[in-house]
């Protein structure tokens, strides 16, 4: 889902007014999507690499039962890894439950394009009813809670959060959520426009386009108050992608305060009173 690079002047500022400049220093949030029992080992390697380029903390987007392949809270190695990361300052974020969206009968072309072509069927929270979403959120809160780590955010798989699912996220008491183009503080409903960099690696042509796109986006977002870089474990299997991401992150980390989504949202609340 790639569009023209956004203008930078309003990035990170609240939609609909508020304090556009903020008092927070320019910030960088690196998020690692899809941490689960399936991807734990790769994510550990990613965290080591990131630490070497000045990123000691990230937002870790955790899938409780990734494609039905194993509950996080039933895997002691996972619990230990996540607990250790959070103790070092990383943030745990709930990221769907199965991270899979079962396709439904009678879907229109637009829905099929978004949920299958764009995400390869991963948009779990794209079109759930409020009740369905609330049920998965409650199960997810229980699993992540069983791992013994605090968490306040929920981010939908592929950032595809439908309107009813967003209501459920608020109803279940989450402090914030994000989409690809915005960060939403659920307390008081403040939204901050901030486009995330993210790579698409499913095919050679997507990787080629993705490198060009993210290079342009990185420059377009140079002066934005909040730079968001979203990584996925498969990014680390493609050296050109990994190198590009690491170069952008290394540069941004020298110019910006490295933080997590949770810390950034809390900081903006203080700024705006
Ligand atoms: Zn994901």
CA of 74 to the centre of ligand 1 (A): 20
Residues in the chain where the model's pLDDT stays below 50: 1-21
| Predicted local distance difference test score (pLDDT) of residue 198 | 96
Return the CATH fold of 27-272. Answer: TIM Barrel (3.20.20)
CA of 219 to the centre of ligand 1 (A): 25
CA of 100 to the centre of ligand 1 (A): 9
CA of 202 to the centre of ligand 1 (A): 14
Whole-angstrom Cα distance, residue 27 to residue 228?
9
| Predicted local distance difference test score (pLDDT) of residue 123 | 85
Between the alpha carbon of residue 92 and those of residues 102, 153, 241, 244, the distances in Å are: 26, 8, 24, 25
| Predicted local distance difference test score (pLDDT) of residue 20 | 44
| Predicted local distance difference test score (pLDDT) of residue 105 | 59
pTM of the model: 0.88
Q: Indicate the domain borders of the chain.
A: 27-272
Cβ < 5 A residues, ion ligand 1: 33-34, 157
CA of 212 to the centre of ligand 1 (A): 22
CA of 126 to the centre of ligand 1 (A): 12
CA of 157 to the centre of ligand 1 (A): 4
| Predicted local distance difference test score (pLDDT) of residue 183 | 97
CA of 19 to the centre of ligand 1 (A): 31
Nearest to 245 by CA among 49, 5, 33: 49
For 124-146, the pLDDT digits (tens) are: 888 899 999 999 999 999 999 99
H-run or E-run covering 85? helix 76-87
């Amino acid at each position: 889902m790639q569009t023209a690079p956004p203008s930078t002047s309003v990035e990170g500022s609240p939609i609909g007014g508020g304090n556009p400049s903020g008092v927070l220093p320019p910030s960088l949030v690196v998020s690692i999507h899809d941490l689960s029992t399936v991807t734990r080992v790769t994510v550990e390697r990613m965290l080591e690499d990131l630490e070497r380029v000045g990123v000691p903390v990230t937002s870790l987007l955790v899938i409780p039962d990734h494609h039905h392949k194993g509950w996080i809270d039933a895997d002691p190695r996972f619990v230990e890894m996540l607990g250790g990361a959070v103790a070092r300052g990383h943030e745990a974020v709930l990221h769907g439950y199965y991270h899979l969206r079962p396709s439904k009968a009678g879907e229109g072309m637009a829905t099929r394009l978004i949920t299958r072509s764009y995400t390869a069927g991963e948009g779990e929270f794209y079109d759930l009813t409020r009740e369905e979403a609330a049920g998965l959120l409650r199960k997810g809160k229980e699993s992540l809670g069983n791992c013994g780590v605090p968490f306040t955010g929920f981010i939908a798989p592929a950032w595809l959060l439908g309107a009813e699912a967003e209501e459920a996220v608020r109803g279940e008491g989450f402090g914030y959520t994000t989409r690809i183009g915005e960060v939403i503080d659920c307390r008081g409903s403040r939204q901050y426009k901030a486009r995330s960099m993210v790579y698409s690696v499913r095919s050679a042509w997507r990787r080629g386009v993705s490198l060009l796109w993210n290079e342009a986006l990185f420059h377009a977002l140079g002066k934005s108050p909040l730079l968001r870089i979203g990584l996925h474990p498969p990014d680390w299997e493609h050296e050109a992608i990994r190198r590009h991401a690491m170069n952008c992150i290394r540069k941004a980390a020298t110019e910006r305060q490295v933080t997590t989504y949770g810390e950034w949202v809390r900081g903006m609340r203080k700024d705006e009173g």
